[in-house]
Amino acid sequence: KKKLKISGRELVSVPPQIFGLDQLQVLEMSPERESCLRYRMELLPQEISRLRNLTCLYVDSNNLKKIPAEIGTLRCLERLTLSNNNLSSLPAEMGALQRLHSLHLANNSLTELPAPLCQLRSLTFLDVSDNKIVTIPSSIRHLEKLETLLLLFNSLESLPEDVCVLRNLHTLWLGNNQLQSLPAAFGELVNLDWGYNYCSCNFEGNPLESPPPEVCSRGPEGIRDYFLSLHGI
């Protein structure tokens, strides 16, 4: 079998026989999405490296405190879900997952957007909502294919100008942070949709002063015009 789901309220570790399934492509060790269950697994074993053909690994809603460096050997991995755990850091080796296009890290204890993530040039979806992130590295500019970036419910006080280089962004959630201003080039993110899909860009719950909320609601053109007017252009 190439797909395996392991379930059970008492799941605390990965059954060792799993690591003999070297043709496995999809491994799910998470409660059902619609349930409120949480498993108790605290450690993803180093032996995960034996599953070289994995394309999808689902381990959200556990009690993971650390991800082993061996995760970087899963070069076929395309989707990784680690939301709802107790992670405060990620291994640098994650930067080797160059096929990864979807990464879920919501509701952990991350205090910064880990630099290795900015090496994942294939990434199109990144969710780091509901963490404790204070800073975003300028190297985020390397995520040139990124389409969805979810940063709500963090502790961001500013956004680097480099975010404005991500011209493929369609969805950017920034709600419930500590942002007082946006980068002057924010209006260049023209693919963000303020029209029928208003929620594609969200600023609610921020003490924005520049530009003020009423300007943000006009979309990228209004934001661009606001900054141009500040410079008398």
Domains of the chain in sequence order? 3-231 (3.80.10.10)
- pLDDT tens-digit readout, 25-41: 999 998 865 566 677 88
How many separate helices (H) and strands (E) can be counted in the chain? 2, 9
Q: For residues 165 and 146, what is the distance between their CA atoms, to the nearest angstrom?
A: 11
Quick one: which of 29, 91, 98, 21 has its CA closest to 58?
Answer: 29
- Give the pLDDT score at 215: 86
Q: Extract the runs of DSSP E, i.e. beta strands, from 63-200.
A: 79-81, 102-104, 125-127, 148-150, 171-173
Contact yes or no for 46/74 (Cβ under 8 A): no
Q: Other C-beta atoms within 10 Å of 209: how many?
A: 11
- Give the pLDDT score at 33: 57
Confidence (pTM): 0.91
Region 181-209: what's the mean pLDDT? 79
Region 175-203: what's the mean pLDDT? 80
Which range is least confidently modeled, 15-19, 59-63, 147-151, 215-219? 215-219
Q: How far is CA 27 from CA 76, 100, 134, 183, in A?
A: 13, 15, 32, 40
Q: For residues 177 and 73, what is the distance between their CA atoms, to the nearest angstrom?
A: 35
Structure tokens at 83: 């939301």
Cis peptide bond prior to 211, omega within 30° of 0: yes
Q: For residues 99 and 92, what is the distance between their CA atoms, to the nearest angstrom?
A: 16
Q: For residues 78 and 68, what is the distance between their CA atoms, to the nearest angstrom?
A: 18
Q: How far is CA 115 from CA 79, 84, 189, 216, in A?
A: 19, 21, 22, 29
- Give the pLDDT score at 214: 83
Q: For residues 177 and 152, what is the distance between their CA atoms, to the nearest angstrom?
A: 7
- pLDDT tens-digit readout, 136-170: 999 999 999 999 999 999 999 999 999 999 999 99
Where residue 181 falls among pLDDT bands split at 50, 70, 90? very high
Region 44-72: what's the mean pLDDT? 95
- Give the pLDDT score at 200: 67
Backbone φ, ψ for residue 220 (5° rounding): -60, -35
- The SS3 of residue 225 is helix
- Give the pLDDT score at 140: 95
